[in-house]
A and B are shown apart, each in its own frame.
Chain A
Amino acid sequence: MVVAKGIVPLASSYLEDIDGWNHLPGSSFRIGTYCTGCAGSR
């Protein structure tokens, strides 16, 4: 099943690309969009 569509990932078209790695403005570390989930306790 598709959970979400039309998201805007932390991708190079919006963020600085340094040698193929995306960076938040002013940062020196690489960044990406990673999904997390929680099934709850019930």
Chain B
Amino acid sequence: MSFAWADYRERISRIYYRRSADAGNTWEGPSSGQPLLTGEEDDNYNAIVSETDQHDFHPQLISTPSEEIGYVVYEFGPKGRGEFPMVLQDLLTDVVLAISVDDGKTFSERITVTDYPWDPAVGAPLTHGNKYVTFIGEYFGLDASPLGFFPLWTDTRTGMQEIFTARVNEKHIKTSGVNVARISNLDTD
């Protein structure tokens, strides 16, 4: 089993975790946890660890029946848009998924699920009516089946907070950025 949380020991939000291979009798690694994402690049030459100006938060973990473990997280920071020149826009949020095929020992593949990052300032409700504090929800979700992983996240691409999902497997994104309220039939290939 594995447990993960957002940790600020690096003065940037990173996801740390602990793993037990014997049902919680013993726990691997340092007692304060270890970074969940490590290493420089995955097999597709994608960087595994988020850039140093990006905050990772609200992690979720799930396993598939075939024993892959999926990890999904919000990644918040300045995002580039446009091919050239790259334009850094406001602080935006991507949904990032990583997959472990060794029972959570390592997460060796990283996929950005969102087609483009969403703006957490759009349509954000106030927290207890406080105009200085908004709320994007802490109800980020992740489920899995033999078809792959299904993250469920808040997205504002439509101009308001709505719930989106995608189906992701270890090969590629099968569906991307689907508004849950408008799903009629997800591709089942």
Residues of A in contact with B (beta carbons under 8 Å apart): 1, 3-11, 14-15, 18-19, 21, 23-42
Inside 8 A of B32's CB, which chain A residues have their CB?
4-7
Interface residues on B, range: 35 or more
Asked if A10 contacts B127 (CB within 8 A), the reply is no
Interface contacts beyond A38-B1, A38-B63: sample of 7 additional A-B pairs, CB < 8 Å, sorted by A: A5-B32, A19-B132, A28-B121, A37-B2, A37-B61, A40-B1, A40-B104
Asked if A18 contacts B3 (CB within 8 A), the reply is no
Q: Is the contact region of chain A dominated by helix, strand, or loop, or is it mixed? A: loop
B64 at the interface (CB under 8 A from A): yes
CA A8 – CA B33 in complex, angstroms? 10
Asked if B133 contacts A37 (CB within 8 A), the reply is no
Asked if B76 contacts A24 (CB within 8 A), the reply is yes
Stretch among B43-51, B52-60, B175-183 lining the A interface: B52-60
Inside 8 A of B58's CB, which chain A residues have their CB?
34
Asked if A9 contacts B18 (CB within 8 A), the reply is no
Contact flag A19-B133 (CB < 8 Å), given A7-B5, A10-B8: yes
Inside 8 A of A3's CB, which chain B residues have their CB?
3, 18, 24, 27
CA A40 – CA B156 in complex, angstroms? 32
Inside 8 A of A38's CB, which chain B residues have their CB?
1-3, 61-63, 69, 104
Asked if A28 contacts B55 (CB within 8 A), the reply is no
B124 at the interface (CB under 8 A from A): yes
21 A-B residue pairs with Cβ-Cβ distance under 8 Å, sorted by A, are A4-B16, A6-B31, A7-B5, A7-B32, A7-B33, A9-B5, A10-B13, A10-B57, A19-B130, A29-B120, A29-B135, A29-B136, A30-B127, A31-B57, A32-B138, A33-B7, A36-B61, A38-B3, A38-B104, A39-B1, A40-B63
